[in-house]
């Protein structure tokens, strides 16, 4: 007799689900006239394919009652249970399930199959459907309609590829010292529709374009201290986020990240923006990839600012520092990016550290972080090794631009020893500038570095 009352509570739970972007289904468990559990659908939020309202409600009820068998209980759910949930209800020996709207595609209480009427499976649970079905289906229809509208709006912006993720905009709101307008490009052939983010500030006909390339696990945020100084000099600054980083789309599969692919994306990006009079600014992977770019179009480049990085030619074994980093990434794939930055840069605020975590809300968004350490060419025939050796020859023999090397001496991975090796490969590069207080992320001392770069290069 209270079925409508309890179904009303389940509908309230369904409402909550829809405000959280989950398919609106709610459930309550009632035992001897008392509500012992309420829950709503949450597979997206919990990253859990089994987090249907019924399962969560059953778990909570069993916890409350201290018993995994719920013989005296009734579960109210706004939508016909699926096979998984029907199975769980039967396992709980539930007395009764009362459901709202039928689910023609997956319903396991009569629409597709009826698990409650298999005598071999069920001696316990009675099923009663159609209670307040109209309210429940109206909620579902509204939800899917709104979702279709949102998808349409998204598609109008740039459709997100099925095999990629896009970090929600809100995660980038109010970042300290990052006021620049987001620019996007998705029509580079090698992007296959992935949306790539970049900053492009200053006049397009400026006498100098600073092309600033970040590494792993950074993004264009790394250059926030250098940008204003270059802009003040009247120059243009272009700072892309590599696919998988920053505000760019993030392929779901680690294997999407390959040396040649990232290099090709950057080559096409530079062509598409037709960058001229480029001063290339590189650090970490920004250099592993970026130092291989100028030989493809030397006429575009006139300067190089190189900070802690290397050319991975595989002519020497990888350094112990790098191997330790690669092992750390393999052992702790969810390491805190902000804390990593903060450890070497005590001058950074908590908000600045947090900004480095902004692109990566969960493990799904971290494919690039997992893939990049293993992508460093290790053997002569590794992808990227041959092109890195060609680049080495280019810097040794053909480079005619100005160069400046700045070394953060506290870097255990790509520090002074590695950089002095690289220095020998760059034709005409004056003695490196040493920053004793700087670590791997030299850009965090960007005010000083940008001033040096203006002085030496521009």
Binding site for Zn ion (CB under 5 A): 52, 82, 85
Q: What angle do CA 248, 253, 256 make, to 5 degrees?
A: 70
- Helices 320-331 and 367-375, axial angle in degrees (round to 10): 150
* Smallest distance from Zn ion to CB 85, Å: 3
* Smallest distance from Zn ion to CB 79, Å: 8
Task: List CB contacts of 348: < 8 A, sequence separation 6 or more.
Answer: 341, 342, 444
Q: Which of 197, 214, 284, 445 is catalytic?
A: 284
* Smallest distance from Zn ion to CB 359, Å: 33
Task: List CB contacts of 152: < 8 A, sequence separation 6 or more.
Answer: none
* Smallest distance from Zn ion to CB 107, Å: 10
* Smallest distance from Zn ion to CB 52, Å: 3
The secondary element (H helix, E strand) that includes residue 127 is: strand 126-128
- Helices 3-19 and 53-65, axial angle in degrees (round to 10): 120
- For residues 341 and 359, the answer to whether their CB atoms sit within 8 Å is no
Residue 73 or residue 79: which is nearer to Zn ion going by CB? 79
CA 83 to centroid of chain Cα atoms: 33
Q: Which of 235, 257, 262, 440 is catalytic?
A: 440
Q: Which of 200, 241, 249, 411 is catalytic?
A: 411
Residue 77 or residue 314: which is nearer to Zn ion going by CB? 77
Sign of the four-CA dihedral 442, 448, 450, 456: negative
* Smallest distance from Zn ion to CB 419, Å: 57
Residue 140 or residue 414: which is nearer to Zn ion going by CB? 140
Residue 52 or residue 279: which is nearer to Zn ion going by CB? 52
Integer Cα distance of 58 and 52 in angstroms: 10
Residue 54 or residue 444: which is nearer to Zn ion going by CB? 54
* Smallest distance from Zn ion to CB 408, Å: 53
Residue 440 catalytic? Answer: yes
Residue 85 or residue 358: which is nearer to Zn ion going by CB? 85
> What's phi and psi for 182, nearest 5 deg?
-70, 135
Residue 77 or residue 449: which is nearer to Zn ion going by CB? 77
Residue 411 catalytic? Answer: yes
Integer Cα distance of 219 and 73 in angstroms: 53
Residue 23 or residue 387: which is nearer to Zn ion going by CB? 23
- For residues 368 and 250, the answer to whether their CB atoms sit within 8 Å is yes
- For residues 359 and 168, the answer to whether their CB atoms sit within 8 Å is no
Half-sphere exposure of 261 (CA within 13 A, CB side): 17
* Smallest distance from Zn ion to CB 17, Å: 13
Alpha helical stretches, state H, 216-319: 227-232, 259-272, 285-290
Q: Is 218 exposed, middle or buried (0-12, 13-18, 19+ CB in 10 A)?
A: buried
Integer Cα distance of 345 and 356 in angstroms: 13
Bond into 104 cis (ω within 30): no
Closest CA to 381 of 335, 445, 314: 314
Closest CA to 384 of 375, 393, 373: 375
Instruction: Output the six-digit token pair for 385.
Output: 């090794």
> What DSSP character marks residue 298?
G
> Could you list the active site residues?
284, 411, 440
């Amino acid at each position: 007799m209270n079925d409508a009352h309890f179904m009303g509570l389940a509908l309230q739970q369904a409402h909550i689900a829809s405000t959280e972007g989950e398919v609106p289904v709610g459930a309550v468990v009632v035992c001897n006239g008392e509500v012992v559990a309420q829950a709503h659908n949450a597979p997206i939020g919990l990253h859990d394919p089994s987090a249907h309202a019924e399962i969560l409600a059953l778990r909570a009820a069993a916890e409350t009652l201290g018993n995994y068998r719920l013989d005296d209980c009734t579960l109210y759910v706004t939508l016909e249970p699926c096979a998984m949930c029907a199975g769980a209800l039967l396992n709980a020996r539930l007395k009764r399930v009362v459901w709202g709207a039928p689910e023609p595609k997956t319903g396991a209480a009569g629409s597709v199959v009826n698990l409650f009427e298999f005598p071999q499976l069920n001696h316990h649970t009675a099923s009663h459907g159609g209670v307040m079905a109209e309210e429940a289906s109206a909620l579902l229809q509204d939800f899917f309609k709104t979702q279709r509208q949102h998808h349409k709006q998204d598609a109008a912006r740039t459709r997100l590829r099925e095999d990629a993720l896009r970090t929600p905009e809100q995660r980038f709101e109010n970042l300290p010292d990052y006021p620049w307008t987001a620019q996007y490009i998705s029509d580079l052939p090698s992007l296959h529709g992935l949306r790539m983010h970049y900053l492009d500030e200053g006049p397009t006909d400026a006498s100098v374009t600073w092309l600033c390339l970040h590494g792993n696990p950074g993004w264009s945020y790394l250059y926030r201290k250098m940008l204003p100084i270059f802009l003040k000099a009247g120059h243009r600054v272009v700072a892309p986020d590599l696919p998988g980083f920053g505000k760019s789309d993030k392929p779901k599969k680690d294997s999407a990240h390959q040396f040649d692919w990232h290099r090709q994306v950057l080559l096409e990006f530079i062509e598409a923006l037709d960058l001229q009079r480029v001063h290339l600014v590189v650090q970490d992977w920004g250099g592993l990839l970026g130092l291989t770019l100028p030989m493809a179009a030397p006429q575009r480049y006139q300067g190089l600012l190189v900070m802690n990085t290397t050319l991975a030619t595989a002519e020497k074994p990888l350094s112990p520092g790098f191997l330790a980093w690669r092992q750390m990434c393999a052992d702790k794939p969810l390491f805190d990016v902000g804390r990593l930055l903060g450890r070497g840069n005590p001058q950074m605020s908590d908000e600045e550290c947090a900004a480095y975590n902004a692109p990566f809300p969960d493990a799904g968004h971290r494919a690039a972080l997992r893939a990049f350490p293993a992508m460093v060419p290790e053997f002569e025939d590794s992808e990227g090794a041959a092109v890195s050796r060609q680049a080495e020859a280019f810097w040794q023999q053909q480079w005619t631009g100005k160069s400046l090397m700045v070394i953060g001496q506290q870097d255990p991975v790509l520090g002074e020893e590695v950089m002095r090796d690289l220095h020998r490969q760059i034709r005409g590069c004056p003695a490196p500038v040493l920053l004793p207080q700087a670590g791997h992320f030299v850009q965090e001392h960007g005010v000083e570095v940008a001033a040096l770069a203006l002085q030496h290069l521009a």
